[in-house]
Amino acid sequence: MIISVAKEVKAQERRIALSLETAQKYLAMGFELQVEKGAGELSGIKDEDFAKIGVKIVENAYQGTDVLLKIWAPIEEEFSRIEANTTILAHFDYAFDTDKMSQLQAKNTTCFALNLMPRISRAQSMDILSSQSNLAGYKAVIDAVAELDKAVPLMMTAAGTVAPVRFLILGAGVAGLQAVATAKRLGGIVFASDVRPQVKEQVESLGGRFVDVKTDENLETSGGYAKETSEAYQRKQNEAVKEQLKTTDVLITTALIPNKKAPLLVTKEMLKLMPEGSVAIDLAAESGGNIEGTKNGGTVEISGVKVIGDSQLASKLSASASKLYARNLFNFLSPMYDKATKKFQFNFDDEIVQKTCLFKTGEKND
């Protein structure tokens, strides 16, 4: 069985779906492993590093492969290179790419969307959203502070006192909680809000202060994700956020709803409430953004606030992100390994396999 790792073609993507550590594990299992030329360079892994441990460096990772590992699902320019009956593991935005899905389906591929990993305890080590969001939350704070013209911690000096920077984090999922923790470690005063009141304890355990919006609505799915909110809740949330924005130096928004447009949390009018020179980073920019006027992959100034739209923050930490992503893939595949045949035997009765499989040899998985 041949496992291949392709070079990512998505703009600004620096990660690779393999590390030297996981490469050695696949080789020890008896697989033939091939990596597309230059695929690891932007993550600090040279072709010769792979070659030294027995990985074959190829010009076309799609040719003759059984299992294809990627960060992102193949895009239009890759379709002609994919061979029939290939098993593909990647992040699939399947709800927005129905044409792409039908083309992959026509090639009798078996596709696993690791971004659909169920939130159960034994799947935690396979969860690509959590591993990458964790890094994105950290990087959001670092980038925001770099753009800010203020020192973050409280400073008592002979010349006077420097007040600490105030952060507001909207969305207390994995990225949001890491943003809370990072901002707190830097010495900031941190506030966080989420539609799920049960995350209050997690925010407070990290040193943040939870902005509570009282409601009787159940705003969490059975899978642990946030639901869309009612208009009544949105009005209450807007009022609470407006009050916080008046003294917020750094705003970080992380709210996403799976397979839907990101919820709008902050309007241009609300940005006017923030102090001049404030910074906002929108992690949901690629899905429409939580901040009105966000430009994905760019920076715009709105009412004196620098608004940065960046959905590729994990990619900027490519060395760390690639290692974690590669482990997620290995942790997903290794339980499927059959020692007798030295192949992966997928158990489609398993909840993890069932929930992540989009197609099984071209047949849609319902």
Active centre residues (catalytic): 119, 124, 127, 130, 225
Torsion of CA 251, 257, 261, 264, to 10 degrees: -30
Q: Are 173 and 119 in contact (CB under 8 A)?
A: no
Give the Cα separation of 36 and 5 in Å (integer). 6
What does the DSSP assignment read for 222-290? TTSPBPPPPHHHHHHHHHHHHHHHTT-SEEEE----TTSPPPP-B-HHHHTTSPTT-EEEETTGGGT-S
For the four alpha carbons of 87, 93, 221 and 290, in that order, the dihedral sign comes to: positive
Q: Return the DSSP state at 154.
A: -
- Give every CB contact of residue 190 below 8 A, 6+ residues apart in sequence: 166, 167, 169, 180, 183, 184, 206, 207, 208, 209
Q: Are 87 and 109 in contact (CB under 8 A)?
A: yes
Q: Give the strand pairing for 279-282 and 250-253.
A: parallel
For the four alpha carbons of 265, 270, 275 and 276, in that order, the dihedral sign comes to: positive
Give the Cα separation of 252 and 165 in Å (integer). 13
Count CA atoms within 13 Å of residue 317 on its CB side: 20
Any idea which residue has 């309007």 for tokens?
Answer: 267
Closest alpha carbon to 73 in 112, 123, 21: 112
Q: Distance of CA 69 to CAs 4, 23, 90, 326, 336, Å?
A: 6, 12, 6, 9, 15
Q: What are residue 290's phi and psi, to 5 degrees?
A: -90, -15
